[in-house]
Amino acid sequence: MTIPAIRKIRALFPDAEMTLLTREWAVGIFRSTGLFNDIITTDALLAQARELRGRRFDLAVVLPNSFESALVTWLGGVKRRFGYASDRRGFLLTDAVAIPEWKNTRHEVYYYLNLVDAIEQSYFGAVTETTDLEPRIEVPSERLVEAQRLISAGDARTIILAPGSTNSRAKRWLPENFASLNDRLQRELGAKVLVPPMDAPWVRMTVLEDPQGATFIASQFVAENKDLGAPADTAAAS
């Protein structure tokens, strides 16, 4: 949901060195956008702060609402820090933006764009309308070719298992159930089963073996994962 907002940041500062601070699992998602010059994936808060301080960023756009995400930009000495005044963190931001009254009634894309509009107003004195609202990510052509190769190889029926949901463990099927289903699809239907890669943000893949010796891949969910709607911690332009 942050992609349209990030695209607008890039459009506002086309010549800036733009860096994303995010989790390791999200790198593959954002690297293919072509919107960033660099991506930082350091996990520890103090290490993140040292990295930001060493790079002397001029602007931080704090997309998440968490206290920690604002704290790291403050500790990192970023000159201007825009973010929503949520989670009692307003004092950590140089430009705390009020949460809009319509937050819970409009699509989340508008929520992040509203934050970027505040930056545009501050830097350029006016806000331009954003017409490209689609949160799309362009997949590199070589990945599309590889995906097509995997799907079309051989004569077996291809079935893709896509585990979810990402924002509620109560909605997720148990890993052993996915493993059992995968095993049955291959054994009883002779199907070729594909699952997301090991670095996919919502799953961690584990190879299991059942008592009969059949090997299959189970989807083991990462418990600490957060909602994928806004995975970026900080988008900073200098």
* pLDDT (average), residues 185-201: 71
Q: Are residues 168 and 123 in the same domain?
A: no
pTM of the predicted structure, to 2 decimals: 0.66
Q: Are residues 66 and 128 in the same domain?
A: yes
Which two tokens mark 104?
């819970």
Q: Are residues 98 and 125 in the same domain?
A: yes
Q: At what angle do helices 67-75 and 45-55 cross, to 10 degrees?
A: 40
DSSP-derived pairing of the beta strands 215-221 and 38-40: unpaired
Q: Are residues 176 and 120 in the same domain?
A: no
Q: Are residues 174 and 74 in the same domain?
A: no
Q: What is the CATH number of the domain that holds 72?
A: 3.40.50.2000
51-85: pLDDT as tens digits? 999 999 999 999 999 999 999 999 999 999 999 99
Query: Which residue segment(s) compose the domain that 204 sits in?
Result: 141-221
* pLDDT of residue 233 exceeding 70: no
* Calpha distance 131→156 (Å, rounded): 43
Q: How many domains does the chain have?
A: 2
Q: What Å distances lie between residue 8 and 14, 107, 129, 146, CA to CA?
A: 10, 17, 10, 31
- pLDDT grade, residue 5 (50/70/90)? very high
* Calpha distance 111→104 (Å, rounded): 9
Please give the pLDDT value at position 164. 61
Query: What is the phi/psi pair of residue 237, to 5°?
Result: -120, 135
Q: Are residues 133 and 145 in the same domain?
A: no
Q: Are residues 76 and 159 in the same domain?
A: no
